[in-house]
Structure 1
Amino acid sequence: MEAVYTQGVWMAESLQQRTRSNEHFWLVVTHMGDPKAAFLLVFPFTYFISKRAGVAVLWVAAISEWLNLVFKWLLFGERPFWWIGESRLFVNKQPKVHQFSSTCETGPGSPSGHAMVTAAVWWVVVSSLGSFLYSRTRSIVLSSLPYLFYVVILVAVGISRVFILAHFPHQVIAGSLTGLFLGNVLSHRVPEGRPLLFFFSFSTGLLLSALILHVGLQQLGIDLSWSIYLAKKWCSRAEWIRLDTVPFSSLTRDCGALLGLGLAQYWKPGGWSLPWAPRALSLAISSMGLYHVNRLPLPVQPQGLFYCLFFVKFVLVPQIVMVFVPGLVHFFTHKKKKD
């Protein structure tokens, strides 16, 4: 793998030098490809267009990110920003690269979570849109446009991850292919109309199975905190190391979102039926609500409290999008029509 990693570093150097003027663009793309964006941006946008597609997005995002965590624990995988220093292969000729605030993620690098979750989630979106366009127009050309957009998204997210030294190219490719497969499989198994007990059991099962795997690997002598140590050692700035990039943060996010999805369907089975104008208003209000929920500062010590509050934060996400905001909009718009 040493030759693969080395070539990846030189590719990142070339990419940074040739596209330095597009630095802001790549940083925006990598933020849009963050798994968190699937929960906070793609899910509400999709839900208010198609309820089933929205539920599918949340379901696929949670399962694919959980699987990405498991793959990372099992496959390890270096990250460029720390491997450059750890490998000691560039003592005589240091690559001319620099880090960014999004570079210093603390989990292992393989496969890329950004690429994997983006590929899985956006497959749900573009396949639904493609099917809709074909059913309305019967045009293969028009219905294939969403898939072209899908390829552009994956390529852009992949390049952005290599550009900021978060991943090697082969990790991005592996994540994209795995996400494509998962999106295709999981989108046909959306848990609509399932009881709350299903979601509670599923969320608890994911949490416990990940913890058991973690403990089991530690019992085998595998220190799963190795990547956190290297990230702290080689990150350019200490403040770029954030607790919400630690693997357990993604685990609590996924379990919280799934439990929240079950609660939302329990409180309001089938969701609120709204015309297009109230849907657009609900989307705008939901987006503002999720923005402020995401920005809520959480105490980083003790870490157990941080993870609990992080879990609660993502339990609230489906409640805001599926129950609270559309219910409030329905109440006021219905009352106005009645008056």
Structure 2
Amino acid sequence: MEAVHTQGILFAETLQERAMSQEQLWLVVTHMGDPKAAFLLLFPFTYFVSRRAGVAVLWVAAVSEWLNLVFKWMLFGERPFWWIGESGLFVNKQPKVHQFSSTCETGPGSPSGHAMVTAAVWWVVVSSLGSFLYSRTHSVVLSVSPYLFYVSMLLAIGLSRIFILAHFPHQVVAGSITGFILGVVLNRRVPEGRPLLFFFGCSVAMVLGALLLHAALQQLGIDLSWSIALAKKWCSRPEWIRLDTAPFSSLTRDCGALLGLGLAQYWKPGGWSLPWAPRALSLAISAMGLYHVNRLPLPVQPQGLFYGLFFVKYVIVPQVVMVLVPGVVHLFTHRKKKD
């Protein structure tokens, strides 16, 4: 792997050298590929276009991110920004690379979570859109265009992760391929209309599965906090280390979102039936609501409190999108129409 990692560093060095003038663009792209964007941006947008697609996006995002956590714990992938220092190969000649505010993630690096979750959730969107376009136009060229966008987006997000030194190229490729497979498989098994007990069971199973794996690896003498220690050691600025990039943050996000999805379908089975104009209004209000939910400051100490509140935050997300906002919009638009 040493040769693979070295070539990855050289590729990142070349990429930064040639594309540093587009630094802000790469940072925007990497934020678009952040797994939380699937929960806070893509989910509400797709839900108000197609209820089934929205539920599928949330389902696929939660399961694929949880599996990414499991893979990372088992594969122990390095990250470029700390491997440069830990390898000892660049003592005499340091590579000309720079870190950024999004570089210093604390989990292991393989496979790339950004690439994996993005590939999984966007497959739901592009496959649905491609089928819709073909059914309406019977144009192969037009129906293929979403898939070309899909490949282009994965390439851009992968390059952005390499550019900021968060991942090696092989980790991005592995994440993209794994995410694509998960997207295809999970999109066929969307739990639309399943009882609350199903989602509660999934949420509990995710927690117990992750904790059992964590305990088993510790029993084998494997310290799963190794990546956090290396991130803190080699990150250029301490303030770039964020608790919401830690492995247990993604676990609580996934479990909270699935439980929230079950609660939303329990409170309002079938969802609210809205015309296109109220749907657009609901999307706008939901986006503003989730923006403020995401910005809620959480105490980082004690960590148990942080993870508990982080869990609650993502339980709230489906309630806002699927129940609260469309319910209020329906109430006012229906009353206005009745008057």
- TM-score, normalization by structure 1: 1.00
The aligned residue for residue 30 of structure 1 is 30
Match of 1:146 in 2: 146
In structure 2, the residue matched to 1:120 is 120
User: What is the alpha-carbon distance in structure 1 between the residues aligned to residue 200 and residue 113 of structure 2?
Assistant: 25
What is the CA–CA distance in structure 2 between the aligned matches of 1:270 and 1:100, rounded to whole Å?
Answer: 44
Cα shift readout 1:69-102 (whole Å, capped 9, x = no counterpart) = 0000000100000000000100111100010000
Amino acid corresponding to residue 305 of structure 1 in structure 2: L
SS at match of 1:19: helix
Note the aligned Cα RMSD (angstroms). Answer: 0.3
Aligned counterpart, 1:252:
252
> Which amino acid is the alignment partner of residue 19 of structure 1?
A
For 1:77, the equivalent position in structure 2 comes to: 77
Distance 2:143 2:273 in 1: 27
In structure 1, distance between residues paired with 2:337 and 2:277: 13
Q: Paired residue for 1:93?
A: 93
Name the counterpart of 1:301: 301
The one-letter code matched in structure 2 to 1:262 is G
Unmatched 5+ stretches in structure 2: none
What's the CA shift string for 1:238-272, capped at 9, x where partnerless?
00000000000000000000000000000000000
Are 1:333 and 2:333 counterparts?
yes
Letter of the 1:156 counterpart: A
Structure 1: 5+ residue stretches without partners: none
Aligned positions of 1:36-185 closer than 5 A: 36-185=36-185
Aligned position for 2:16: 16
Helix, strand or coil for the counterpart of 1:167? coil
Q: Which residue of 2 aligns with 1:218?
A: 218
Q: Return the alpha-carbon distance in structure 2 between the equivalents of residues 79 and 206 of structure 1.
A: 25
What per-residue deviation string (whole Å, max 9, x for no partner) do you get for residues 178-231 of structure 1? 000000000000001110001001110111110010011001100000000000
Q: Cα offset for 1:130?
A: 0.2
Deviations 1:291-337 (A, max 9, x none): 00000000000000000000000000000000000000000000101
SS at match of 2:49: coil
Runs of at least 4 residues of structure 1 off by over 2 A? none
TM-score (norm 2): 1.00
Counterpart amino acid of 2:225? S
**How many percent of aligned residue pairs carry the same amino acid?**
83
Partner AA of 1:287 in structure 2? A
Which residue number corresponds to residue 291 of structure 1?
291
Q: Paired residue for 2:229?
A: 229
How far apart are residue 66 of structure 1 and its match? Answer: 0.1
SS at match of 1:48: helix
Separation in structure 1 between the aligned mates of residue 164 and residue 297 of structure 2, nearest angstrom? 26
For 2:55 and 2:140, how far apart are their aligned partners in 1?
A: 27
Distance in 1, matches of 2:105 and 2:71, equals: 16
Structure 2 distance, partners of 1:132, 1:255, is 31
**Equivalent residues, number:** 339
Deviation digits for residues 38-91 of structure 1 (CA, Å, limit 9, x no counterpart): 000000000000000000000000000000000000001000000000001001
